[in-house]
Structure 1
Amino acid sequence: MVNAMPTFLNLPQRTAKPRRRGITHVLDKGLPVAEIAPLLRVCGAYVDVWKLGWGTAYLDPGLAEKLRVLDGHGVLACAGGTLLEVAWQQGAVEPYLQWAAEVGFPCVEVSCGVAPMSADDKRALIEAAADRFIVLAEIGAKDPTAEVSPAVWAADAAADLAAGATWVVTEGRESGTVGLFDPTGEVRSDVVDAVVESVGIGTTVFEAPRKEQQAWLIRRFGPDVNLANVAPSDALGLEALRLGLRADTFDATPGRVHVR
């Protein structure tokens, strides 16, 4: 039996699942389903999207059971963008999309981080995938030496949404030192502002694997900011961060405990 959350504290209002704003998107690097099931019994109420990173979904012998467990907790399973990029490179986009639909993925990620595709190629992939899936379109480069232009990111975000994506995901990688972040992990606030001004906060998902990055974004946009590349084991801690139940977002005003 799962105990209901107590109600004696004054906490920020959070959108309820299923939601499109305030999502927590976790990155699965290859967890066995035997570890996922007990984890979701604890934090499933706070997780919205579960990305099977890179091409791990193609290799996972427990994929069918993993997708069943995720669906049982109301969590959207998402195939990683690298897998689709490999399929595109090999001329196997339609077989990939058929496979993803048959095994039961409700979401796919469309990215252009490794394959040499053009912007038009990427938008065509989004359009093809959006007929059958919720599409998360990643913007920004994985290359740490690539120039980061707020104007380009803003334009790419708008174009990806126009092509049919549900969310645009800002590149930060699992390290939190690329794209949206400088090599030290500091947030590039000019990029954040440009993307949000272009497409709005509700459709922007920020890859933010580090606690200090998550806290910065929560303080900036409130508890219902969309955050991605969260470690599965950090999902419950992130919800505490959203609700001002950790020092990084605690409000010391007497009588209140909420996000600053």
Structure 2
Amino acid sequence: MATAVSRGAWHSVVELPETRRLVKPRTSGITMVIDKGLGLRETLDLMEMAADHIDFLKIAFGSSALYPSKLMREKIALAKEYNIEVYPGGTLFEIAVFQKCTKEFFHRARELGFTYVEVSEGTIDLTPEERKKYITMAREEGFGVLAEIGKKDPTVKIDPARAVDQIFADLAHGAYKVIIEGRDSGQGVGIY
């Protein structure tokens, strides 16, 4: 098992626990960073500072729809240069499902350079068959898939037994990992 070797500012003086992390690509200890609208230069700063610790960059809340196409492509390419998988959050996927344009959504995501997509139902309802269909469709389009279970509505609670069944089904259908909804606050939704 290969480990990362830190050459940080305190190298050889203080040994930090995270210096024993696995090198990329990791299968455990995965770190996903939510990008709420960083510009290209801020993204470069983030990459130079922390890329060794970041596995996924999630362009969240549908914000990738607000970027000029050229800038979005450049930002994604920059993250990929640092071995970081990039995906739009589930909001745009859910809008595409609602508007019945998922095929076009996947094509545009590929055109922009995204490497993963999120199949989620935080604001919509999907049957298990629909989840399977969208996970399969995304995989066929060449994407890695992060599935997400749970609702953004704090009054909707997750049924643990159904959640476990859905997690195993999503993984069996090709999802790389399954995320349990928690919003970025980690309060009042999903498992919280």
Q: 2:180 aligned with 1:170, yes or no? A: yes
Q: Where does residue 42 of structure 1 map in the other structure?
A: 49
Equivalent of 1:110, from 99, 119, 125? 119
Cα distance change, pair 10–52 in 1 and its aligned pair in 2 (3 A): closer
TM-superposed CA distance for 1:10, in Å, is: 7.2
Equivalent of 1:180, from 171, 177, 191? 191
Matches of 2:82 and 2:120, distance apart in 1: 27
Q: Where does residue 3 of structure 2 map in the other structure?
A: none
Q: 2:146 aligned with 1:136, yes or no? A: yes
The aligned amino acid for 2:58 is K
8 Å Cα contact 2:122-2:181 kept in structure 1: no
SS of corresponding position for 1:78 = strand
Matches of 1:104 and 1:70, distance apart in 2: 10
Number of residue-to-residue matches in the alignment? 179
- Can you give the 5+ residue segments of structure 1 that lack an aligned partner in the other structure? 182-260
TM-superposed CA distance for 1:148, in Å, is: 2.4
The aligned amino acid for 1:4 is R
Q: Where does residue 81 of structure 2 map in the other structure?
A: 72
Equivalent of 2:103, from 94, 107, 115? 94
TM-superposed CA distance for 1:66, in Å, is: 0.6
Matches of 1:11 and 1:85, distance apart in 2: 38
Normalization by structure 1: what TM-score? 0.65
Matches of 1:137 and 1:161, distance apart in 2: 8
Matches of 1:15 and 1:130, distance apart in 2: 26
8 Å Cα contact 2:86-2:114 kept in structure 1: yes
The aligned amino acid for 2:147 is A
SS of corresponding position for 1:142 = coil
Cα distance change, pair 11–80 in 1 and its aligned pair in 2 (3 A): closer
Aligned pairs (5 A) from 1:1-260: 4-5=7-8, 6-8=11-13, 9=15, 11=17, 13-61=20-68, 62-131=71-140, 132-177=142-187, 178-181=189-192
Matches of 1:170 and 1:66, distance apart in 2: 27
Normalization by structure 2: what TM-score? 0.87
Matches of 2:191 and 2:178, distance apart in 1: 13
- Can you give the 5+ residue segments of structure 2 that lack an aligned partner in the other structure? 1-5
TM-superposed CA distance for 1:76, in Å, is: 0.7
How many percent of aligned residue pairs carry the same amino acid?
Answer: 37
The aligned amino acid for 1:125 is Y
Give per-residue Cα distances to partners, 1:107-140, cap 9 Å, x unaligned.
0001011123322212211111012101000011
Larger relative CO (CA 8 A, sep 6+): 1 or 2?
Answer: 1
